[in-house]
Structure 1
């Protein structure tokens, strides 16, 4: 600049007004060259409207100094930056990209001066295995946060504290083993949460508490074995749920009932157990129009390869009621006396026949085995040994009122001797007690026999 001003004087700008004009020109150029709006860090490229500073792929180990304070977008990806400290950012920006670096440590409050920041990308930093609580303190306007592929094993409980504006959170392909309760409780405006590709095993009751505006939840490609039955209590606006490629054998029906707005559901790639524990999930699909993937059964053996959604009411005929005391709200698979008591209390009057009437509908069913039919009064051997096909419209089986069930819970064994199983599903070795009609007809005969014995005894005693 000094040589430029000397050149001006040498060229003859020394007239009455020429000297003043030259001096003004020199001052203007000095101000322009020292203006922070036009300064650009070494090895970086700057663009106006919006003010963008691109410092990518320059092997920086620290955030470069001299960054224009008015920068709206700062690109620092594909460098060798290792640490982010409180004094690393002496500028204000709305977009900050730091992905594909070697960041190992972020000091608490490192971003606290970036009050206008809306997008922060820290993805693809495989050495960032741990974060301090308060690492994102002050980012109350942040809308998008990327932390994918960082090998994070755990997240501090206050990591997302006061991030009220956050809408997109990318945590996929890390090494997370669990989600702490209330971890996302401040993210009331979060719209999309990506957690796929981690090592999560269980979803607790309060893992997603506070996510009242969540629209997409991706949990596929984890190791999830259990989801608490109220884990989705706050997810009333969820429309997309991916849980495929996990280790789920069962899923409580309450989970999906709480997420009643789900439109796209993917549950394939799980070892579904299609015994009694599947009834709640089956009932959900029976009354839902959700777009779903297939749910292939892995057990029991007779149902392996069958889609859980296409099971029938009769497949759950011997299942007990759900146990409200279980953690996941699932059903028990043990056929105890309360199961037999259930059928004894609600056995149809003509259930000894292969065909019976219920609510003006006819149910055609298979006998339990094709061997010799049980000899019971009123039974029809030809009917009971025949094979029937299911009707197109299955009638609902009798259901037990929960209050009646729990009123008798624990007292079933005392009356076990008088219980009768549902004969259409009875095992071959079950011993049927006499029917009420035969018992009632035998009572007068026993009375007469007793009176005859007393008369004979009196005759022998008194002659």
Structure 2
């Protein structure tokens, strides 16, 4: 009996010793929960000889600056890897290609500056959750990540966390190669606008988190882009919205959108009179759109005045034409008299011009002309007493008749 108890004890001790020998240096292994932890051990490289039973590997708080295909070669059964806060700066090509069962990858809290286009490529696309919060070093890293998402074969990815990366903009079509993505977290960045094509290809998205950014409003193209996502859960709270007239379109969208928006958190940050006021339900008077509305009314009134003035002028013209129609006979007589008077005047000037321009009369002496005037018929006797009427053609011809003159 005593020997059997000692034998059992030695067996347990031997198994524990074997377990300890299997655990990598500087790590803790838990066979029951199939977990390996290497936390704050100042490791410079990823640990080797990870036990085959491990399903979860936690490597955090170390100084591992680079990982590549040689970092994880043996453990094919690993489903979860946490590599947060390791000061990672570079991910080489096919870093996780041997982890064919990997479902969850956490790279948060690093300083990734170089990301190979195929760094996230894994045969069979098993990856479902990717955490890259507070992990991108600069805008170049964002460009590399966009390429990696395109060439990584991540068709099975369901959850992507890019929060806390100080992103100012998102390249168009950045997520178009993630057709099955359901949750996208972009909180705590510096996004100021959403452009057309930003969320193209995301037909299965269920949650979009845009909280804690720097949105002051959403313009027409951004609202159209959000409408394309359908009736999903969109988080827009805790942004510095400026409740001026420019936000009127966004307020109207909040009131009619099919999306499930956290309207209680969507509040005004300025001006001071509307601080912390909910955007949904604000009227155009509240956000300062009264003046433009009055201007539109004034413009409409001015147009109405122009129409009224045109009607009045048209009525006056019709009255004038009607008066002319009633006095058409008198107007016709007056016009004929004026025409005859003008004709007589013009004929008189015409015959005078013919007399003055006749060359045969150029050598007549002054005395002869005086005798001609004395012997001829006086112009005052031939013309009527009304001197305002010019001589007729017959009178002018009579005046030109005179006795023969010796040349």
| TM-score of the two chains, using structure 1 as the length reference | 0.56
In 1, the alpha carbon distance for the partners of 2:337 and 2:40 equals 121
Query: Could you say what secondary structure the match of 1:220 adopts?
Result: coil
- 2:316 pairs, out of 429, 437, 442, with 442
C-alpha deviations, 1:253-281, integer Å up to 9, x for none?
A: 53443333145553652235525x844x4
C-alpha contact 1:296 1:308 (8 A) present in aligned 2:
no
C-alpha contact 1:112 1:138 (8 A) present in aligned 2:
yes
- 2:57 pairs, out of 46, 71, 74, with 74
Given the superposition, is the C-alpha separation of residues 86 and 255 from structure 1 closer, same or farther in structure 2, using an over 3 Å criterion? closer
- 1:155 pairs, out of 143, 146, 150, with 143
Displacement of 1:174:
1.1
In 2, the alpha carbon distance for the partners of 1:454 and 1:295 equals 78
Asked if 1:246 corresponds to 2:209, the answer is no
In 2, the alpha carbon distance for the partners of 1:297 and 1:43 equals 50
**Which residue number in structure 1 is paired with residue 245 of structure 2?**
274
C-alpha contact 2:207 2:233 (8 A) present in aligned 1:
no
Higher gyration radius (CA): 2
Given the superposition, is the C-alpha separation of residues 172 and 186 from structure 1 closer, same or farther in structure 2, using an over 3 Å criterion? same
Asked if 1:261 corresponds to 2:231, the answer is yes
Given the superposition, is the C-alpha separation of residues 308 and 146 from structure 1 closer, same or farther in structure 2, using an over 3 Å criterion? closer
Displacement of 1:182:
2.9
**Which residue number in structure 2 is paired with residue 88 of structure 1?**
71
Asked if 1:63 corresponds to 2:46, the answer is yes
Given the superposition, is the C-alpha separation of residues 433 and 163 from structure 1 closer, same or farther in structure 2, using an over 3 Å criterion? closer
C-alpha contact 2:95 2:119 (8 A) present in aligned 1:
yes
**Which residue number in structure 2 is paired with residue 414 of structure 1?**
none
Query: Could you say what secondary structure the match of 2:320 adopts?
Result: helix
C-alpha contact 1:89 1:113 (8 A) present in aligned 2:
yes
C-alpha contact 1:164 1:188 (8 A) present in aligned 2:
yes
Query: Could you say what secondary structure the match of 1:155 adopts?
Result: helix
In 1, the alpha carbon distance for the partners of 2:319 and 2:306 equals 22
- 1:220 pairs, out of 211, 214, 229, with 211
**Which residue number in structure 2 is paired with residue 131 of structure 1?**
115
Displacement of 1:251:
3.9
Given the superposition, is the C-alpha separation of residues 203 and 278 from structure 1 closer, same or farther in structure 2, using an over 3 Å criterion? same
Query: Could you say what secondary structure the match of 2:81 adopts?
Result: strand
Given the superposition, is the C-alpha separation of residues 54 and 261 from structure 1 closer, same or farther in structure 2, using an over 3 Å criterion? same
C-alpha contact 2:195 2:225 (8 A) present in aligned 1:
no
C-alpha contact 1:120 1:145 (8 A) present in aligned 2:
yes
Structure with a larger share of its residues in helix:
2
Displacement of 1:103:
1.1
- 2:202 pairs, out of 181, 204, 211, with 211
**Which residue number in structure 1 is paired with residue 336 of structure 2?**
458
Query: Could you say what secondary structure the match of 2:115 adopts?
Result: coil
C-alpha contact 2:45 2:66 (8 A) present in aligned 1:
yes
Alignment of 1:151-230 (within 5 A): 151-152=136-137, 153=139, 154-156=142-144, 157-160=146-149, 161-222=152-213
RMSD over equivalenced CA pairs, Å: 4.1
Asked if 1:311 corresponds to 2:311, the answer is no
Given the superposition, is the C-alpha separation of residues 260 and 212 from structure 1 closer, same or farther in structure 2, using an over 3 Å criterion? closer
C-alpha deviations, 1:157-190, integer Å up to 9, x for none?
A: 4312311221221111114343333322232222
Given the superposition, is the C-alpha separation of residues 177 and 220 from structure 1 closer, same or farther in structure 2, using an over 3 Å criterion? same
Long gaps (5+) in structure 2: 1-7, 342-407
Displacement of 1:37:
10
**Which residue number in structure 2 is paired with residue 396 of structure 1?**
none
Asked if 1:48 corresponds to 2:31, the answer is yes
Given the superposition, is the C-alpha separation of residues 178 and 108 from structure 1 closer, same or farther in structure 2, using an over 3 Å criterion? farther
Given the superposition, is the C-alpha separation of residues 265 and 54 from structure 1 closer, same or farther in structure 2, using an over 3 Å criterion? closer
Q: Which moved more, 1:38-47 or 1:453-462?
A: 453-462
Long gaps (5+) in structure 1: 1-24, 223-244, 320-334, 340-366, 369-420
Given the superposition, is the C-alpha separation of residues 180 and 88 from structure 1 closer, same or farther in structure 2, using an over 3 Å criterion? same
In 1, the alpha carbon distance for the partners of 2:80 and 2:50 equals 14
**Which residue number in structure 2 is paired with residue 120 of structure 1?**
105
**Which residue number in structure 1 is paired with residue 352 of structure 2?**
none
C-alpha contact 2:39 2:58 (8 A) present in aligned 1:
yes
